Copies of this chain bind each other. A is one copy, B any other.
Amino acid sequence: MKSAVFSIGKEIVSGIVLDTNSTYVSSYLYHMGFDNRFILSVDDKKEDIISSINFVFDKVDVIITTGGLGPTFDDITLESVAKALNRKMYLDKEALDFIDNFYTRLYDEGKIDSPGLNEKRKKMAYLIEGSKPLKNGVGAAWGVHVEKDGKHIFCLPGVPKEMKPMFENEVVPVLKSLTNKVSVIKEIAFGINDESVLGNFIDKVMKSHDVYIKSLPSGFDNKLMNVRFIAFGKNQAEGIEKIELAIKSLKKFIESNR
């Protein structure tokens, strides 16, 4: 299964904030056996979000977005995704109650100056029609899980401490039900430092092994080079076995070169 990860927000595309959310989600996806093909960081522009979602929609099975669910003017992820999927927005009564209580509790605790709802708070209760709301255990903005044409789109908040529990509790179980594979990633060092030679051996091993192999050059002053092996399998053991066979084969080629 293929996937794409989005991070939405000017702070990412302007280089102010390093996009650790996408790395976190992509790494999770990859370990669960998804072939993650794209990470797209997009400015808070409706037309850019819509065209980017449309761009990947036919190319992947799962799309996960982070960012743009909050109360401010530039929090436009849900309405943009809805537009891309040709869905309407609706006011979710349960989300509205949750937000009302959320701010009233903060007010009662003396943390903010006004209780209940206002227009900006209410905005976060508008979700995508036909979606499953994803509850937020930390902040006010709920996420959504939308299915369309057999594809799964998850929209999550951008604040990492809100995004991560929502992803792990609400999204990971669904993803696990979609895939029957895992990936195994292993890096080991070989006594060769020249990609232009090692590359030929890697090409040969990859032709006869279902393993992705990538040399990781660290400069020619180092006599060793790390090599990364990635294999998908129906379980960890199968992935590990594939990688161990590929390592043996690569070692033979390197030794025959001596």
Contact = CB atoms under 8 A, between A and B. Distances in A.
B27 A15 contact: yes
A29 interface: yes
Nearest to A17: B23
B15 A29 contact: yes
Contact of A196 (B36, B51, B118): B118
Interface in A37-86: 37-43, 45, 48, 51-52, 55, 59, 70-74
A114 B197 contact: yes
Contacts of A17: 23
Contacts of A197: 112-114, 118, 120
A206 interface: yes
A18 B18 contact: yes
A198 to B, nearest CB: 8
A228 B9 CA distance: 13
A72 B120 contact: no
Q: How many copies does the complex hold?
A: 2
Contacts of A20: 18
A187 to B, nearest CB: 9
A217 interface: yes
B28 A15 contact: yes
Contact of A200 (B28, B40, B120): B120
A244 to B, nearest CB: 20
Interface of A: 5, 10-20, 22-30, 35-43, 45, 48, 51-52, 55, 59, 70-74, 103, 106, 111-114, 118-121, 159, 185, 193-197, 199-200, 202-203, 206, 212, 214-215, 217, 220-221, 228, 230
14 contacts: A5-B13, A11-B214, A14-B185, A15-B22, A15-B30, A16-B228, A17-B23, A18-B20, A39-B40, A55-B55, A72-B215, A103-B196, A111-B220, A120-B199
